[in-house]
Amino acid sequence: MAQEGMIEVELKFVPGPCTEQRLRELGASLERQLTFRDSYYDTPELDLMRADHWLRLREGSGWEFKCPGAGAAAGRSGQNTAYLEVTTEPAIVARLCEVLGAVVPAEEGVAGVLGPLRLREVASFVTQRSSWKLALSGSQRGALLRVDLDTADFDYAVGEVEALVSEEAEVPAALEEILNLSNMLGVPAQEKAPAKIIVYLQRFRPQDYQQLLKALTPQTEMPQEAK
């Protein structure tokens, strides 16, 4: 879940039949179960996604904009990386204008700039999520890790181990903790799972997906045959 100004460090994985049991064995607690709709917005040319920026309206949470930040600095991209979460509307509008090369309008919310910036809905799907939390013993940062087990309404399941940090300097330690927990969950770090939005585009907007495939950097891995 987005928190303003926080850096989200994450690794996606393919959940198996024993994932929940393993989480319990490791002392994780089920924090909540929720269902929400995400609607992603972009220009007809996918200018945002092609620049690795992701604008969505999450039911129950509002507008969220994920921007590459620490991930780029850490030289990582794609499946296990760090993104800055922007959730206040003036900050989202300012960043949208920056990415799209537009003048920032006075006093406009996100809904007010969709038309002028040619942003329209490109994907919309419902996710059922079980959200677990776990304090990793031996964590130098003493931080909590979150594990989300998601099932999207287009029959796609994906897990995510996530840490939220406030500074780029904390990203490497958080990444190491995430990889430790993934190992303990029996999730091989090399067994990567694509994000729901990527699989959605691949299945339902194949032309957009192909555009994105060409535009994203070579180090960003796109699924060839996502199920």
Q: How far is the CB of 117 from ligand V4E (least distance, A)?
A: 18
140 vs 190, beta carbon nearer ligand V4E: 190
Phi, psi of 8 (to 5 degrees): -100, 120
Q: Tally Cβ neighbours within 10 Å of residue 70.
A: 23
Using CA atoms, how far apart are residues 102 and 30, in angstroms rounded to an integer?
43
C-beta nearest to ligand V4E: residue: 195
Contact footprint for ligand V4E (CB under 6 A) = 1, 10, 52, 54, 66, 78, 83, 150, 160, 162, 194-198, 216, 220-222
91 vs 108, beta carbon nearer ligand V4E: 91
93 vs 158, beta carbon nearer ligand V4E: 158
108 vs 222, beta carbon nearer ligand V4E: 222
Q: How far is the CB of 103 from ligand V4E (least distance, A)?
A: 26
Among 45, 47, 89, 44, smallest CA distance to 65 is for 89
Phi, psi of 94 (to 5 degrees): -60, -40
- Length in residues, the chain: 227
